[in-house]
């Protein structure tokens, strides 16, 4: 079965400092992996996705993630945090028949201090 | 392009009452999903439709939950009767069949008293 584990439930950074949100995955085959962001009272928005092309994936708003098969990791990074980045972030793996379902991690709440 | 539309945005009911949620996916998206998100957790799939056919409903509690997508466009998710543990955010998402990128609506926050 495919699954993801988000290693931190809460991360706090200062504005302008780097962001690192950690995610490990478990999959019996080459996975499709995603990062979604959820702002309060807003819908989930796709940040980026990995589908077995380049291992370094660039997303929206300056975020990127690197797929590391040897470490079974897909960590999300951003060089410089902005106040508007404060939100809940979910690491996600596609699963199920035809990989049409998504299995979400438990989420990491990112707090950005001024 | 309009996104996924859900209504109502908020619903408060007493236990044992019925409740229904409505979703209109992005135009042209033939795959529609319903998820439930409990407080402090990630969303969990309840049911997936390909056009009007429910192709994955293994996680739908069928004793009290039902869903329909009669014309392969909009969909309704119903709970009858609601229990206290059903309090959650119910999310609808849609995608093209050929692409596994899903677009989510804002959700319906259900509170069962």
Strand partners, B108: B90
Contacts of A100 in chain B (CB under 8 A): 31, 48, 55-56, 100
pLDDT computed for residue A99 by the predictor? 63
**Once rounded to an integer, what is the mean pLDDT over residues B9-36?**
96
A99:B100 CB<8 A: yes
Please enumerate residues of B whose Cβ is less than 8 A from a Cβ of A: 3-4, 31, 33, 40-45, 48, 55-56, 91, 93, 100-107
Rounded to whole angstroms, the Cα distance separating A89 from A63 reads 12
pLDDT computed for residue A98 by the predictor? 64
**Once rounded to an integer, what is the mean pLDDT over residues B44-61?**
92
Shortest CA distance from A91: residue in chain B: B42
pLDDT computed for residue A52 by the predictor? 75
- pLDDT above 70 as % of chain A: 96
The total domain count for chain B is: 1
Length of chain B: 113
pLDDT computed for residue B84 by the predictor? 96
Q: Mean pLDDT over all residues of chain B?
A: 93
HEC sequence for B40-91: CCCCEEEEEEECCEEEECCCCCCCCEEEECCCCCCEEEEECCCCHHHCEEEE
Query: What distance in Å separates residue B76's CA from the closest CA in chain A?
Result: 18
A107:B43 CB<8 A: no
Cβ distance A99 to A1 under 8 Å?
A: no
Query: Tell me, what CATH number does B28's domain have?
Result: 2.60.40.10
B55:A97 CB<8 A: yes
Phi, psi of A51, rounded to the nearest 5 degrees: -135, 45
- CA torsion, ordered A39, A89, B79, B68, to nearest 10 deg: 90
Q: Which of B67, B66, B70 is nearest to B81 (CA)?
A: B66
And the tokens for A91? Answer: 């690491």
Q: What kind and span of H or E run contains A87?
A: strand A87-95
**Once rounded to an integer, what is the mean pLDDT over residues A56-69?**
94
Domain of B96, in residue numbers: 5-112
Q: Domains (ranges, CATH) in chain A?
A: 3-113 (2.60.40.10)
- pLDDT above 90 as % of chain B: 83
A105:B4 CB<8 A: no
Confidence of residue A96 (pLDDT cuts 50, 70, 90): low
**Once rounded to an integer, what is the mean pLDDT over residues A55-78?**
94
Contacts of A90 in chain B (CB under 8 A): 42-43
The position carrying tokens 């990112």 is A110
The position carrying tokens 């996680």 is B59
Q: What is the DSSP letter of A5?
A: E
């Amino acid at each position: 079965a495919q699954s993801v584990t988000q290693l931190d439930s809460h991360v706090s950074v200062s504005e302008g400092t780097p962001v690192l949100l950690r995610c490990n995955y478990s999959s019996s085959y080459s996975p499709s992996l995603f990062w979604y962001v959820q702002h309060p009272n807003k819908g989930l928005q796709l940040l980026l996705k990995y589908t077995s092309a380049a291992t370094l994936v660039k997303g929206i708003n300056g975020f990127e993630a690197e797929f590391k098969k040897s470490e079974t990791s897909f960590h999300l990074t951003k060089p410089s945090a902005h106040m508007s980045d404060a939100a809940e972030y979910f690491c996600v793996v596609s699963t199920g028949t035809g990989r049409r379902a998504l299995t979400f991690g438990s989420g990491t709440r990112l707090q950005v201090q001024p | 392009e309009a996104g996924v539309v859900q209504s109502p945005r908020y619903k408060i009911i007493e236990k044992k009452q019925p409740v229904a949620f409505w979703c209109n996916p992005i135009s042209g998206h033939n795959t529609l999903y319903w998820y439930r998100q409990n407080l402090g957790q990630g969303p969990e799939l309840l049911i997936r439709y390909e056009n009007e056919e429910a192709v994955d409903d293994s996680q739908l509690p069928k004793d009290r939950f039902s869903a329909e997508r009669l014309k392969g466009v909009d969909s309704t998710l119903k709970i009858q009767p609601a229990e206290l543990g059903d309090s959650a955010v119910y999310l609808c998402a849609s995608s093209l069949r050929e692409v596994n990128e899903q677009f989510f609506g804002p959700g319906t926050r259900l509170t069962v008293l």
